[in-house]
Amino acid sequence: MSSQLPSPDDQSAGAASPPLPPPPADRDGAGAAGGSAVVALVVVLVAAFMELLDATIVSVAAPAIARDLGASEAAVQWMVAGYTLALGAGLITGGRLGDQFGRRRAFLIGLAAFVAASAACAFAPNPAALVTTRVAQGLAGGLMVPQVFGIIRSAFAPAARARAFGAYGAVLGLASVAGPLLGGLLVEADLFGLGWRAIFWVNVPVGVGGLVLGARVLPESSAPRRTRLDLPGAALAAALAVLVLLPLVQGRDWGWPWWGFAVLAAAVPVAALLWLRERAVAARGGQPLLDPALLRVRAVAAGLAVATLFFGAIGSFFLMLSLYLQWGTGRSAWQTGLVILPYAIGSILTSGVGVRFAARAGRALLVSGALVLAVSQAHLLLVVRDGAAPSYVELAAPLFVGGLGLGLTAPSLVNVVLAGVPERDAGAAGGVLTTVGQLGNALGVAALGAVFFAALETGFDRGAGPLAAYGDALVAVLPWQAACYCAAAALMTLLPRAARPE
């Protein structure tokens, strides 16, 4: 689960992603007046709510999905990682498509694709089909999500934007709480015999309603200057991500064949080609996905490493915790959602503090939040390694502490990084940081998932029962997650002292 809780101060992006930077200035933005502006806000908030739900809800429903479809451990990882990977891969290109061809148009196309992909997920007959449709969902989200801020800016006069962004932050905070609870409730309720499929069907009527209203009330806007899309760069970046993730996720199922390592090694020349491509695009005055010059800015280089480690640890945690709670301790999906709830509540309580004081002591808050998260993982490790099935209170305490740490860190991370970036490069740097956070999420699911499932297999091989085997697997991965937070905290000391004052 990811709990970025944006506010009008940080203009955070949503769901499983770090906060997005504000879009370029609009052109041809006719705006919306009165009630139309309010309806436009409702449409984009509902879409953002759906995207966040689909980034979190599958972790709780994963055991039921795996049981029903006979999914392998690798397939379960792909259900989560495939979505975040596709979302991250599409964010920068999706944002530029909206800037160039119109944000309203891009948003409605993205929303329509998201609804269609959700229905396809609900119909999935096997794990491969579900993974494929989850990737389609992520790509649709990558087109839809970057348009939200531009639409809000076009729909509201400057004086009203703060309230609109405040509503946006409140809705995403609600979604972070609702995700695990709604996932557990829908799975347990088995509405119309749909079981886990209901978590995807719920998007269809809501999304269709959003399309009908959006076509009537959303204002159109675009960026003042058209840019050429770097589609070859996007293709190389996607190929690089797949070459890294494929052997990490599938390697154990394949028996770690030599050609799996060859696939991983192939990532090196592809990374080199991507680097050369981006340098060439920047040299001729274009807009690359990643301007190599940005990496010479200390705040950006450190921020990219922080985003990879920080969101990698978060991305892997809730899937493995859900498997432990349901298949290890025997809790239901609904009970699992209730166990995760304190984490979301903790993040809500501190997210306002993090945003409010980011312009005074942003770096100190980031470091503190990362270390609090590391402490929460260590506390949870002590609870789980005891061997007995932990009580609700025993689990809720470290999870609540972890939520407190997340709220101090996630909403302000991008803004603190951007304080060390020249104003002209802020948009590009923010887009890259957002994308790398999503890719880090997918990488965490792949790499730390490999640790989890290897330990699980070892436990079952020595005759351990489900509680002991899943407990040992979670214990094996928690120190790595804590280490990611500690390493991120160390790298955060290289970031600017505070975010730019708004």
User: So what's the pLDDT on residue 102?
Assistant: 87
Number of Cβ atoms within 10 Å of the Cβ of 298: 13
Whether residue 436 is predicted with pLDDT greater than 80 in this model: the reply is yes
User: So what's the pLDDT on residue 32?
Assistant: 52
User: So what's the pLDDT on residue 30?
Assistant: 45
Q: Which residue has the higher pLDDT, 20 or 35?
A: 35
User: So what's the pLDDT on residue 17?
Assistant: 44
User: So what's the pLDDT on residue 8?
Assistant: 32
Residues 107 and 155: their CA atoms lie apart, in Å, by: 14
% of the chain surpassing 90 pLDDT: 36
How many CA atoms within 13 Å lie on the side-chain side of 37?
18
Whether residue 6 is predicted with pLDDT greater than 60 in this model: the reply is no
pLDDT digits (tens, 9 = 90+) for 59-73: 889 999 999 999 988
Q: DSSP for 303-369?
A: HHHHHHHHHHHHHHHHHHHHHIIIIIS---HHHHHHHHHHHHHHHHHHHHHHHHTHHHHHHHHHHHH
Angle at CA of residue 345, ends 339 and 351, nearest 5°: 145
Residues 484 and 175: their CA atoms lie apart, in Å, by: 26
- CA trace torsion 55, 61, 63, 65 (10° rounding): -100
Number of Cβ atoms within 10 Å of the Cβ of 283: 10
Whether residue 149 is predicted with pLDDT greater than 70 in this model: the reply is yes
User: So what's the pLDDT on residue 469?
Assistant: 94
User: So what's the pLDDT on residue 170?
Assistant: 65
- C-alpha pair distances (Å), 69 with each of 45, 118, 191, 386, 424: 32, 17, 18, 33, 49
| Confidence label for 28 from pLDDT (cuts 50, 70 and 90) | very low
**Confidence (pTM):** 0.83
| Confidence label for 501 from pLDDT (cuts 50, 70 and 90) | low
- Mapped onto helix, strand or coil, the DSSP state of residue 387 is coil
User: So what's the pLDDT on residue 7?
Assistant: 34
| Confidence label for 5 from pLDDT (cuts 50, 70 and 90) | very low
Contact 123, 40 (CB under 8 A): no
pLDDT digits (tens, 9 = 90+) for 473-500: 999 999 999 999 999 999 999 999 887 6
| Confidence label for 296 from pLDDT (cuts 50, 70 and 90) | confident
Whether residue 4 is predicted with pLDDT greater than 70 in this model: the reply is no
Residues 107 and 221: their CA atoms lie apart, in Å, by: 11
How large is the angle between the packed helices 103-123 and 73-101, nearest 10 degrees? 160
% of the chain surpassing 70 pLDDT: 89
Dihedral class, residue 501 (left if φ above 0, else alpha if ψ from -120 to 50, else beta): beta
pLDDT digits (tens, 9 = 90+) for 391-418: 999 999 999 999 999 888 887 888 888 8
Q: What secondary structure letter does DSSP report for 10?
A: T
pLDDT digits (tens, 9 = 90+) for 168-185: 766 766 676 677 888 888
Residues 211 and 195: their CA atoms lie apart, in Å, by: 26
**Cα Rg, the chain, nearest whole Å:** 21
User: So what's the pLDDT on residue 357?
Assistant: 81
pLDDT digits (tens, 9 = 90+) for 297-352: 899 999 999 999 999 998 789 889 999 999 999 999 999 989 998 998 898 888 87
Q: What secondary structure letter does DSSP report for 386?
A: T
All domains in the chain, ordered by first residue: 34-218+289-492 (1.20.1250.20)
Mean pLDDT (the chain, rounded): 84
What's the whole-number mean pLDDT along residues 36-54? Answer: 84
Residues 51 and 110: their CA atoms lie apart, in Å, by: 11
Extract the tokens encoding 401: 């502490």
The residues that bridge with 222 in the sheet, in sequence order, are: 27
Extract the tokens encoding 230: 């770097």
Q: Which residue has the higher pLDDT, 439 or 368?
A: 368
Instruction: Find where tokens 């200390």 sit.
Output: 298
User: So what's the pLDDT on residue 278?
Assistant: 87
User: So what's the pLDDT on residue 376?
Assistant: 97
- C-alpha pair distances (Å), 106 with each of 37, 111, 114, 218, 233: 18, 8, 12, 11, 20
| Confidence label for 116 from pLDDT (cuts 50, 70 and 90) | very high
The residues that bridge with 17 in the sheet, in sequence order, are: 14
As a whole number of angstroms, the longest Cα–Cα distance in the chain is: 67
